[in-house]
A and B are shown apart, each in its own frame.
Chain A
């Protein structure tokens, strides 16, 4: 039964022989929904990107809806489903008329492998071990690891403990910046590189399209602008929402003079953003017209001495 113990209590305790008290009670754990090898758009060099589950924002254009909820979720790809009924025949929740408890029985009987549970809990040491597995490889390609999501700052204690074990590795974060100042300041300056989103300058519009106030975001961004950590600002260009001159000028003015800002990256909206909603049983119904062409004002940032690029 060694295998079971190893998997379920903690590899840390077993492999390193620390006291049980230290290994178990002090160790943080967190939920991750995806690992992406060889990510090329998530920071310098080639990187492993770790997607943390859970996000405080509800952006209407979100293309990673499985990153929103902090809890693991069942995802079902319905397009090629044969309607064979195997999943229903093993579903105890359906029989007992209760809600899904993610037992995973249906995942294991689907003949086409169309079901999965998005989100798995890892201890900080488990995650460190996964990241370290290929860290030499990524170092050779001038990269490292990137924490993305969801929003990594939603799990600060876990992330902090993971960072403790990665001090020799190039670390980067993709964050929406919506976090208490003390959280932001305790984590973000520890990163080698930061990619922070700036979605909308107008507070009311920000509330409408993302569900939250932009005040904490701007406050954190200000501290980033005044700090030494190299960073880029990412602006998803959503047609008719924030691809206006006014919004981009306001963004540029806010960022003007930030000494560690490397560039602004503009990410035009993709029509495929809604692809995963049906897999979660959700509907993608944004409050804007996704088919509208996206406007890109490429030279606008340059007028404020800020490099910009459309990705």
Chain B
């Protein structure tokens, strides 16, 4: 890291000196009241709101920066009044906050056209609609044009401010962007910064970054050829750009501070079979390694052909304790997506949503986290209702399967009538939206819905316990087992010990548990097969948990020896109290299911003690461990380098650990900024670290 980057890092991250430019929080409903009074359409509202924010933004240019744009407005006004929102909720299914989120736009559309080119495109298309008499579509494009003009206007004001403070680099870059498409890496990054900034100003969130090394690569190659950059100066530029993702991120909405969806994908097989990992991919890993910041969050696409050196670079990054990179396996994900109906050429383009869900840039309006199937509670219910009257394990399991099917039906039904607030700016970068004159919130090429699956290991272990101790050995009668669950094992310490520590567990390469996990996932996948949502899309089963692992953990005791309300594992991982033999057994367990069939996303997470990363030799071996998961058919993996003692100390003395970064579920955040329940869950997870 150069001194210049170090100084900027201190300014933005340590001192947060730029916060001085922030205005006080505003009235969230300042626009909505008038919108309602005037009876404006939702598209018009979304457009006016974004224009309003862009117009009221005050340019701030620091003399020493090369990539500008800083949020000064804290509050993005809503487009509906509270009453209207209630009404919408009553009539429709709203997802999360209602806005378009957690998709990946195709930045290359905007980068290739440039600001003037985008304006031209929209104007031309609008003319066409007007000539055809397509008023509604023309009106929609008019909104997009207005937004682009507001972006242009703000860019011009930023240019003037740059001139005023004597920052000629920013002044010239913005001047160029106002007149043409970007040519250099700096220009491309500045334009993407403007685009990304504008997306948040429109209240869109979890604005992911997609295959950054693919769409930025031509600009780097241009600069290297033209002698504008060399490797070293390119690295510095990438670092400066990565820093910009940490300027305003505390203003971005999420479940917890850090959950902001700025995930970026590196590498990956292209449709022509070539490997997408390039010099730029390596520079990105290097930049992230040196900066040690939670944004952007790095994903690496790998396959059986990926050389060990890529994993070694990734493991160097893991060693920093950032909780990334996260790896996804093209050999499983791409066929899985094709199986779900994605075109092969689109499947090859997959990127990663805010956490781990696989999405197609510019083409997917998928809602990948619309709900979650709770394996643990469904299994528990089947056991409570049917253990006494099931003569054998297969009969009991058939009730579990019925439960999964019924719940899947319910979840699917519950997605009906989805209404999403319009996102005219994002629509500029989504396939066909301009050409159709239709907002992406109404749909795009892919309109699929994804369900997480939580508590898989708890469910599999519970059923394995019952198969072993009730049906096979007869050690416990069904009655005993049910009473134990009902009374939370009160007075049954020895039984609890047996179930917790002696019973078969997923994560110990034990067929007795693993085979049940395979069946549960298979049945989850089957329960969604052939079903369609009311946007013409399909449903995707997955292995993620998101925040559901805490919500679904509020559950009575289970036959795996889990006490009532004890937490579930996050994502696709062994149960929290499992005494796993080690990472090899975990990997061997977790590659057994046919993961291409549950490809919504959700990684196996393994916590490794930070001493395993002590020297180059051991880092190379950990890289081999990760590679083995990919070679054995794993779909997605994420490794954490952890030290439990450090976290316990951070709870006691947060002031000493402001920079301590941890992986939460699909994202990394600063440990001290998390709510206590999340901190505690992570510490519980650490107890399993190897």
Contacts and interface: CB of A to CB of B under 8 A. Distances in A.
Nearest to B587: A137
B501 A137 contact: no
Contacts of A133: 509
A111 interface: yes
A134 interface: yes
B628 A113 contact: no
B617 A37 contact: no
Interface string B580-603: 011111001000000000000000
Interface string A108-130: 11110100000000000000000
Nearest to A109: B493
A115 to B, nearest CB: 10
Given A109-B494, A111-B496, A137-B628, A37 B583 contact: yes
Given A46-B625, A113-B500, A38 B583 contact: yes
A37 B493 contact: no
B581 A41 contact: no
B582 A38 contact: yes
A107 B493 CA distance: 10
Interface residues of B, number: 28
A65 B581 CA distance: 21
A5 interface: no
A311 B612 CA distance: 12
Interface in A126-180: 133-134, 137-138, 140-143
Nearest to B497: A108
A252 interface: no
Given A38-B690, A108-B494, 17 more contacts: A35-B582, A36-B582, A38-B621, A40-B618, A41-B614, A45-B621, A45-B624, A48-B584, A108-B498, A111-B496, A113-B577, A133-B509, A134-B509, A137-B628, A138-B584, A141-B628, A311-B615
A133 B582 CA distance: 13
A86 interface: yes
A133 B588 CA distance: 11
A134 B621 contact: no
27 contacts: A35-B582, A37-B584, A37-B585, A37-B690, A38-B582, A38-B583, A38-B690, A40-B617, A40-B621, A41-B614, A41-B618, A45-B624, A46-B624, A46-B625, A107-B497, A108-B497, A108-B498, A111-B496, A113-B500, A113-B501, A134-B588, A137-B588, A137-B628, A138-B584, A140-B628, A140-B631, A141-B624
A35 B581 contact: yes
Interface string B451-488: 00000000000000000000001000000000000000
B279 to A, nearest CB: 28
B625 A141 contact: yes
Q: How large is the interface on A (under 10, 10 to 19, 20 to 34, 35 or more residues)?
A: 20 to 34
B582 A311 contact: no
Contacts of B612: 40
A109 B497 contact: yes
Interface of B: 473, 493-494, 496-498, 500-501, 509, 577, 581-585, 588, 612, 614-615, 617-618, 621-622, 624-625, 628, 631, 690
Interface in A28-81: 35-38, 40-41, 45-46, 48
B374 to A, nearest CB: 26
Contacts of B624: 45-46, 141-142
A46 B625 CA distance: 8
Nearest to A111: B493
Contacts of B494: 108-109
A134 B501 contact: no
Contacts of B583: 37-38
B311 to A, nearest CB: 12
A285 to B, nearest CB: 24
A35 B628 CA distance: 20
A184 to B, nearest CB: 28
6 nearest CB pairs, A to B: A37-B582, A109-B493, A40-B618, A40-B621, A37-B584, A108-B497
Nearest to A138: B584
A110 B497 contact: yes
A271 B618 CA distance: 22
